[in-house]
Structure 1
Amino acid sequence: MECAAKGSQRRCSGSANLRCDGCGAVFYCSASHQISHWNVHKEECGRLKRQMGCVELLNDFPFTFSREATYQVCEKVETRCSLLDKLGIHRAGIWICECSCGSSVFSLDHLRSEMGWRLSSRLCPCKEPLSILKKQLCSWSDYYEWRGIPLDSPVALLLHWPLTIYQAIQLAFAKQSIIETTDELCIHYLGPERELYQTDVFGELHALLPGVQLHIDFVGPAVPHDRDGETIGLYSYAQCTEANCCCKTPKTEFSSHTNTDTSSKITLRFHSGHYHDRYEELTKEFLPDLIIAPNAGIAAYKSWLPTIELIREIEIPAVFSDYCEEACHLAANCIRSVTGTPLTIPVQLNPFRQPLAVEDTALLLPCYSNCFLFGI
């Protein structure tokens, strides 16, 4: 942990081992640093204490590996690498971005040659569901039961991307039932990073949004310049490892194209740069129905300010996520300072957050990818 007073006028004296007795969420390198930082910390101490009281709720997942992926990663008994290794997916194919040692060696060409889940058909959703969704999914348990996947399957570690899109749509259009009344949906997806190398998993939106022609524009500085303007069509689901599985038949074979084939139910397009700089170009063909920004970090990056101003002007619903509740609180303050209005979708726990804790966080609060959702 870093000293909460790091960056102040006084230099840190050593490791941050002194924990705040009030909130239990921050550490200091010395009593003098803790005292000098109190004028700053006192405004957040009570709020962080309340958030620390929700640790059990944040760590509540139904999987057989849940304790290792949550408490033990937070307590450094496990690492993301060691858990992925136990699950048999460490540095394998599209899983390679999920740990620091993997993300340092992966390449786009490597991933393009190793598509699919790298799991047996028993453990992954590689084909059509047995039944169409008849009610809204509300938890990972709901999803796994519907898809007939056992709770020892690690696919939720990647499926939090499409399931968060699903949840964002439910929140943004809760009063309009848009999924029941539309056959086409355009989403502007801001700030993608790991998702750029895990596009296979977005094929699950075929099952989640049946009958909907989906256009998703990935927009952000992390999009490589050589992918700017690229279009990929997702025609089916990510495949399993079994050679004789029906997911390998020509009828359902996964394929991608760098063209504008409109027959695809799911089209992904890539745009490098900030959203406010690319918006006019993006909307020449489709106006967005929804804007989604995963793990946004609004309070951490000044580049969000002109984007928030743009979203206010165009009046398109926008749903954001972040790693912890405190980051969402700070984001809400930033949004209010720009728009002059409170959030239209209050901060709330995402039932489809990634069930693997983030390592080495600034606060002791458990952090998960797509952990909390809020919107304007």
Structure 2
Amino acid sequence: MECAGKGRGNRCIGPARRRCGRCGAVAYCSASHQLLHWSDHKDECERLEEQMKHVDVLNDFPFTFSEESTVQVCEKQESRCSFLSKRGVHRVGMWMYECCCGLSVASFDCASTGRSTDEGWNLPSILCPCSEPSFQISKHLCSWKNYFDWRSIPLHSPVALLLHWPLTIYYATQVAGLRSFNSKISDKLCIHYLGPEKELLQLSVFGELLALFPGVKVDIELIGPEIPQHRNGEMINLCSYAHCADTDCICKSSSENFSSSTGMIKSSAVTLRLHKGFYHDRYGDIAKDSVPHLIIAPNAGIAAYSSWLSTIELIREINVPAVFSDYCEEACHLAASCISTITGHPPKLPIQLNPFRQPMVVEDSALFLPCYSNCFLFGM
């Protein structure tokens, strides 16, 4: 962890081991850097102190590996690499970008060329959702335990590390008030998905939306600057679920999981389209064919990027429900302040914990507060 006072006064004299005595969320290399940083930290200290009281709630998952993927990774007794290695999925297929060494293997741009990577689960069928569920959802799923029971997956399976993407979409439609089992708004759901990054190498995991939205045609427009130029305009049909590693599984006899084209799209329950650029620049063209029911921005980092200003103004103008997520409550608080400044109103959807956050803590985060991908939700 970096010294919170880095760049102030003299250079850091060593590791950041001196934690704030009140909140315990930030650390410093020396007393002098702590004093220099106080003018900034004093406004956030009480807030961070309150957030630190809920660490146990953040780390609360139903999985048999929960302590290993939360506390032990935080305390560097384990790493994401060692966790994945123990389960035979380190640096393979969709798991490639779940650790730091995987990120260094190849850039998103190079790895996505020609879909050279294996897009299956690389797990036996008993550990992953590679085929139709045995029965449709009869009530809203509200926890990982609900989901794993429904899909008959054992709680030692690591698939939630990837399934947090489609499950967060599913949950976002609930908190935005779009989906009801008693009253379906339509047989089509159009989502504008902002700022995808490593999801671009995990797209087959979105095949799980086939089960989460039965009988609904789901169209997702993925828009962001990280989309490679050669994939701009690409259309992808998800006709089945991501495949397991068993050679004789029924999932191998189903239709191909991916088909891409620049022409006509085949009939499919889930369609993805990729658009390079910022949402406020691309919206006009995209909306000609795809008016959203919902806007989703995972791990948005609104307070960190000035480009969000124009996008927030656009979302206010088009008046479509928008759900954002971020890695920790503090990031959401800063984002909510930005939204209030831009729009003149606080977010309509208050900051809340996402039950479908990724169940593995982010390594080397900027705070001692545990951070998880898609950890908290809030929205306009």
% same residue: 61
Q: How does 1:197-212 map to 2 (within 5 A)?
A: 197-212=201-216
Give the Cα separation in 1 of the matches to 2:171 and 2:335.
20
Matched, 1:120 2:124: yes
Which residue in 1 is equivalent to 2:33? Answer: 33
Deviation at 1:6, TM superposition (A): 1.6
1:255 to 258, 266, 277: 258
Which residue in 2 is equivalent to 1:62? Answer: 62
**TM-score, normalized by length of structure 1?**
0.97
Deviation at 1:181, TM superposition (A): 2.8
SS of the residue aligned with 2:154? coil
Give the Cα separation in 2 of the matches to 1:96 and 1:155.
14
Total equivalences in the alignment:
375
Which residue in 2 is equivalent to 1:361? Answer: 365
Q: 1:10 and 1:51, CA in 2 relative to 1: closer, same or farther beyond 3 A? A: same
Aligned residue type for 1:354: Q
2:274 to 270, 274, 282: 270
Give the Cα separation in 2 of the matches to 1:72 and 1:111.
34
Give the Cα separation in 2 of the matches to 1:168 and 1:260.
30
Moved more, 353-362 or 254-263: 254-263
Structure 2 unaligned runs (5+)?
A: none
Moved more, 7-16 or 100-109: 7-16
Alignment deviations for residues 114-140 of structure 1 (CA, whole Å, 9 cap, x no partner): 121111110000000001000000100
Structure 1 unaligned runs (5+)?
A: none
1:59–1:70: 8 Å Cα contact kept in structure 2?
yes
2:25–2:369: 8 Å Cα contact kept in structure 1?
yes
Aligned residue type for 1:13: I
Alignment deviations for residues 21-67 of structure 1 (CA, whole Å, 9 cap, x no partner): 10000011111221222221111111101111111110011111111
Give the Cα separation in 1 of the matches to 2:136 and 2:217.
16
SS of the residue aligned with 2:77? coil
Which residue in 2 is equivalent to 1:307? Answer: 311
Deviation at 1:13, TM superposition (A): 2.8
Which residue in 1 is equivalent to 2:340? Answer: 336
Matched, 1:78 2:105: no
Alignment deviations for residues 69-101 of structure 1 (CA, whole Å, 9 cap, x no partner): 000000011010000001110011110010111
Moved more, 275-284 or 9-18: 9-18
2:112 to 108, 113, 118: 108
1:93–1:111: 8 Å Cα contact kept in structure 2?
no
Aligned residue type for 2:224: G
Aligned residue type for 1:56: D
Q: 1:165 and 1:260, CA in 2 relative to 1: closer, same or farther beyond 3 A? A: farther
Aligned residue type for 1:135: K
1:135 to 133, 139, 163: 139
**TM-score, normalized by length of structure 2?**
0.96
